[in-house]
A and B are shown apart, each in its own frame.
Chain A
C-alpha cells in the first residue's frame, strides 16, 4: 500500500494546521501510524507514535488521530510557531512488517 500526504501546507503563527496521511489499501486502523518531524539538515525525530501518542518533550500542541471513514491519519498542530516549520512524514507498515513512509509534507509557518 501507499501513504499519501499533501506535498505542502502553510498557515500563520498561532493557527491550527492538519497534515493528512491517506492509506491506499487496507484499513488505516490495521497498523499503527507514526509521525516524524525533520528540520533542514537534521535527522527525523518522532512527534507522534501509535497514532496518537506524544513522546515526552513534544508539546501538547501536537496531536494525532485516525479516521476510518477516510482511511487516513492526521497530525494536528495547534498554536503554530515558526519553530514548527519542517518536513513531516507519516510511517506505517504492512502485514509483513515492512515499513511504508508517506512522501512527506513541507509545513511553512508564515
Chain B
C-alpha cells in the first residue's frame, strides 16, 4: 500500500517561494502507470488541482498557476516536490500530494495534507 507524506514550512512570507516535498513509500515511483500530483484546498473551500509530474519529468500545470509553479521529481529519494513563487495570502491552503492513475486520472492515494499559511 503506497503512503504519501507532505513536508515543508508551515509559514511563508508574501512574495517569497513556497516549497513542499512529498515522500512516497510502499511503492515505486518509476512506474509509468502513475502520475504524481499536487492539490490544494483553502480553508472551508473546495479542491484545486495544481499540477502533476510523470515519466522522466514531464509536467502539466493548472493554467491559472502555470507561471508560478514548478513540480520536480527525485525517484532516487522516492519524492516529488512543489515550488510556488511570489506567494500571496490567496495561496494559504492545505496542500495535498496524491498518486493518480495515468489511464483514468483518478487519485487513489492521498497524503494527509500540510497547511501552508502566507503571512508576514
**Which single member of B60, B62, B106 contacts A34 (CB below 8 Å)?**
B106
Complexed CA–CA distance, A106 and B105 (Å): 24
B60 & A101 in contact (Cβ 8 Å cutoff):
no
Measured CB to CB, the nearest residue on chain B to A50 is B104
Interface residues on A, range: 20 to 34
| A83 touches B (CB below 8 Å) | no
Stretch at the interface among A14-22, A39-47, A70-78: A39-47
Contacts of B104 in A (CB 8 A): 32, 34, 49-50
* In contact, A99 and B46 (Cβ under 8 angstroms): no
Of residues 56 through 111 on chain B, the ones whose CB sits less than 8 Å from some CB of chain A are 60, 62-63, 96, 104-108, 110-111
A-B contact count (CB 8 A): 57
Is B108 a contact partner of A46 (Cβ separation < 8 A)? yes
Which residues on the B side are within 8 Å of A45 (C-beta)? 110
Give the chain B neighbours of A44 by CB distance below 8 A: 47, 96, 107, 110
Query: Given A34-B106, A49-B106, A50-B104: A98 and B49 within 8 A (CB)?
Result: yes
Q: Determine whether the beta carbon of B47 is less than 8 Å from that of A89.
A: yes
Instruction: Tell me if A100 is interfacial: C-beta within 8 Å of chain B.
Output: yes
Point out the residue from B46, B48, B106, B110 that lies within 8 Å of A43, measured CB to CB: B110
Assuming the A-B contacts A32-B105, A96-B60, are A43 and B113 also in contact, with contact meaning beta carbons closer than 8 angstroms in the complex? yes
Q: Once the chains are docked, how many angstroms separate the CA of A35 from the CA of B106?
A: 9
Contact A89 B46 (CB under 8 A): yes
Given contacts A43-B110, A93-B105, contact A104 B47 (CB under 8 A): yes
Interface of B with A (CB < 8 Å)? Answer: 37, 39, 46-49, 60, 62-63, 96, 104-108, 110-113
- A interface residue numbers (CB < 8 A to B): 31-32, 34, 36, 42-46, 49-50, 55, 89, 91, 93, 96-104
Residue contacts A-B, CB under 8 angstroms, 15 given: A31-B105, A34-B104, A34-B106, A36-B47, A42-B112, A43-B111, A46-B106, A91-B47, A91-B107, A93-B105, A96-B60, A97-B60, A97-B105, A99-B49, A100-B49
5 tightest CB-CB pairs across the interface, nearest first?
A: A99-B49, A43-B110, A49-B106, A104-B46, A101-B47
